[in-house]
């Protein structure tokens, strides 16, 4: 792998990341056109339905694209979707060499784009900074291959593993820098999921409030098997471009369900399982609605349900330098737990961050 190829691919990855949280259900893609050692075109996919990264870069390059090398973070599409096939645009522009980070896991592409380019006589190389590209699009990869959303579990606790005092006080365990980063996470993922207990206790907004403004509110998903969410709760009444979905079960009183619908909430009914909703069926329904990533900010009970059902893909585990104590103070993961250590959820590929005095562990479920 040439150093120059890595350099320009990193440039393309940085361009792709500019659209973090804005391209769903599409991937983030960046492209760079290089001719004679000079960058003559740059582009990235800004949002679904708009031109792809390759098109933007080729337009900027113009006639300089002839005989040039195109660096792109994902295999160019070769089918008609919301936009035309990028392979044809690359061929028509006169590009002679294409360097890719990874193939497109979308079954509609999956190597067909590379095949089309090679059939047209272009030199194609793949696998340059592939791992970085896969991490950038981890949400898209999970969604496009399973039609299920990527599930991220976020929790905040004290050093001794408490998410609240024995009396129920929980705001705020972590400091302002951690809380600011959580709003960036909300801006990144399509949906945020909490239980009705959180709504009743805290009346949260569940919006993305970035310091610079311009945050994208996630779809609010409330697990509420008995439709107990108040009609005047902020998640129902606040002005937001994102809808609120309240997930009930067949046992929810019809009059409460109707009242929430009249107040503006959308209702999804799923079968009951144990003490709550069937999470696997809910995720399938959210995937059907093109919700590609879900940030779970639940309490101990909901966290425990996701962990026990093996539905977690990634975790953000915030730890504050506080010791709360108390045998009755809750921990971050409730439920029945695992009786054997070998059955416990293993977290791997760990990265540690520092936010002020807090520590955050980012990792992936094994």
- From the candidates 38, 54, 75, 138, give the one annotated as an active-site residue: 54
Residue 297 annotated in ligand binding: yes
305 carries a ligand binding annotation: yes
User: Residue 326, annotated ligand binder?
Assistant: no
Distances (CA, A) of 178 to 182, 323, 350: 6, 17, 18
- The whole-angstrom separation of Cα 91 and Cα 116 is 9
Backbone angles phi, psi at 323, to 5 degrees: -120, 115
Residue appearing with tokens 């896991």 = 105
300 is in an annotated binding site: yes
78 is in an annotated binding site: no
* Contact partners, residue 366, CB within 8 Å, separation at least 6: 345, 346, 347, 348
Q: Which two tokens stand for residue 174?
A: 């972590």
Residue 86 marked as a ligand binder: yes
304 annotated as a binding-site residue: yes
Closest CA to 269 of 225, 234, 228: 225
Q: Is 299 annotated as a binding residue?
A: yes
**DSSP class of residue 340?**
S
State yes or no: cis peptide before 202, omega within 30 of 0.
no
**295 belongs to an annotated ligand binding site:** no
Q: What CA–CA distance (Å, rounded) separates 264 from 277?
A: 21
The answer to the question of whether 209 is labelled as a binding residue is yes
CA distance 80 to 232: 45
Q: Is 52 annotated as a binding residue?
A: yes
131 is in an annotated binding site: no
Q: Is residue 363 left, alpha or beta, with left meaning phi > 0 and alpha meaning psi from -120 to 50?
A: beta
DSSP 197: H
357 is catalytic: no
Calculate Rg over the CA atoms of the chain. Answer: 23
Binding residues: 52, 77, 86, 156, 170, 172, 186, 198, 202, 206, 209, 225, 297, 299-305
| Residues acting as catalytic residues | 54
Binding residues for NADP(+): 156, 172, 198, 202, 225, 299-305
Binding residues for Zn(2+): 52, 77, 86
Binding residues for substrate: 170, 186, 206, 209, 297
């Amino acid at each position: 792998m040439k150093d120059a190829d890595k350099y320009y691919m990193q440039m393309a990855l940085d361009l792709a990341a500019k659209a973090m949280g804005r391209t769903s259900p599409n991937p983030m893609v960046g492209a760079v056109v290089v001719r004679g050692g000079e960058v003559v075109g740059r582009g990235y996919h800004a949002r679904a339905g708009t031109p792809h990264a390759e098109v933007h870069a080729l337009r900027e390059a113009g006639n300089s694209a002839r005989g040039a090398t195109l660096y792109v973070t994902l295999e160019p599409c070769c089918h008609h979707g919301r936009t035309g096939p990028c392979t044809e645009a690359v061929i028509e522009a006169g590009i002679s060499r294409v360097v890719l980070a990874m193939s497109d896991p979308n079954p509609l592409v999956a190597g067909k784009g590379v095949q089309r380019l090679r059939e047209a006589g272009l030199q194609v190389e793949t696998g340059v900074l592939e791992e970085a590209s896969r991490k950038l699009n981890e949400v898209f990869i999970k969604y496009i291959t399973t039609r299920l959303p990527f599930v991220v579990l976020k929790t905040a606790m004290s050093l001794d593993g408490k998410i609240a005092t024995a009396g129920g006080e929980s705001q705020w365990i972590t400091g302002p820098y951690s809380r600011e980063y959580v709003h960036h996470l909300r801006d990144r993922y399509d949906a945020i999921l909490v239980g009705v207990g959180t709504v009743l206790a805290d009346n949260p907004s569940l919006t993305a409030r970035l310091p610079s403004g311009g945050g994208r509110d996630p779809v609010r998903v409330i697990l509420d098997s008995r439709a107990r969410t108040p009609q005047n709760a902020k998640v129902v009444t606040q002005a937001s471009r994102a809808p609120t979905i309240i997930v009930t079960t067949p046992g929810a009183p019809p009059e409460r369900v109707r009242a929430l619908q009249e107040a503006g909430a959308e209702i999804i009914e799923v079968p009951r399982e144990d003490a709550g909703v069937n999470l696997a069926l809910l995720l399938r329904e959210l995937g059907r609605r093109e919700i590609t990533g879900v940030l779970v900010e639940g309490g101990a009970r909901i966290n425990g349900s996701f962990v026990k059902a093996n539905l977690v893909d990634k975790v953000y585990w915030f730890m504050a330098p506080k010791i709360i104590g108390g045998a009755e103070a809750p921990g971050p993961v409730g439920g029945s737990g695992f009786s054997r250590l070998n059955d416990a959820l293993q977290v791997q590929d760990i990265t540690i961050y520092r936010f002020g005095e807090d520590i955050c562990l980012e990792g992936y479920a094994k």
